[in-house]
Amino acid sequence: MEPPEDREMPLQEHLAELRKRLLRVFVVFVIGIAIVFRFSGQMIKDFWSYVLPDTQINVVTPTEWFMVQLTFSFSVVLIVVYPYLVYELYQFARPGLYEHERRFVKIFLPFSYILFLVGVSLGFFIVVPRVFSISMLFNMGADPFLTAKKTLYSALKIILAFGLSFQIPVLAVIAVRIGLIDSKWLKSKRWIVYLAVFILATNLTLDISGISQIIVLTLVVIMYEFSIVLARIMEKNIKSTG
């Protein structure tokens, strides 16, 4: 039996539907960034004072401060509108899901955002201040020249990496429940995932101490292995109720 709203659609119609939903997300992002950007300067200063107290913000190019404000605004908007992004993706996939699969996904989607906020909060309140504090120990008495771009980019990437890493278990459980993957597939892909994360962490969260890379990779490994355990439990529940 096919899903109630499932029907054959040409590829162009699928792409048109996806484009429509992505356009909506894009418009929301643009409006959000325009609003946050007005206050981003003070927000960045407050953010800087929290993670790096008693240090000065430095810029090395005329456009650096503008780009930092834009990136910071995008990150704030992403955290706020993340549920809407997930909602649009769900609506795109909804016609291909059975009614029981839709109910299951609807139950787990709120947990997805809660876990996202938990990850972001851990990154902001605990990890980033500790990483920067430990990194400052490597200065060996020298007064560091901390630029706005490199410093804030590293901090924001760690925070967002934590938020997104906490999505792994939720996505794994949903994918197993609707039959896209199983625990064996997750196990077979673990080293590919770890290698990809290591490469991304090395390039995107680079700091001289290497602490941020280790933290991000460790977190992904923990979340991924936890996802395999959850996938096994989900498979047993499916078999027992099937």
Quote the pTM value.
0.85
What's the average model confidence in pLDDT over 94-112?
A: 85
pLDDT at 207: 54
Number of domains in the chain: 1
pLDDT at 242: 58
120: containing domain: 11-241
| Residue 47 domain flag | yes
- 108: which residues sit within 8 A by CB, 6+ positions away? 170, 173, 174
| Residue 4 domain flag | no
Output the six-digit token pair for 121: 């909060």
| Residue 139 domain flag | yes
Helical segments of 52-98, H only? 64-93
For 45-74, how does the pLDDT look when each residue is reduced to its tens digit (9 = 90+)? 999 999 988 889 999 988 999 999 999 999
| Residue 43 domain flag | yes
For 140-171, how does the pLDDT look when each residue is reduced to its tens digit (9 = 90+)? 566 678 889 988 988 898 899 899 999 999 98
Residue 2 has pLDDT above 60, yes or no: no
| Residue 69 domain flag | yes
Report how far residue 7's alpha carbon sits from residue 196's, in angstroms, rounded to the nearest whole number: 36
| Residue 196 domain flag | yes
| Residue 6 domain flag | no
DSSP secondary structure string for all residues of 180-215: S--HHHHHHHHHHHHHHHHHHHHHHS--TT-HHHHH
Report how far residue 8's alpha carbon sits from residue 13's, in angstroms, rounded to the nearest whole number: 10
pLDDT averaged over the chain?
A: 86
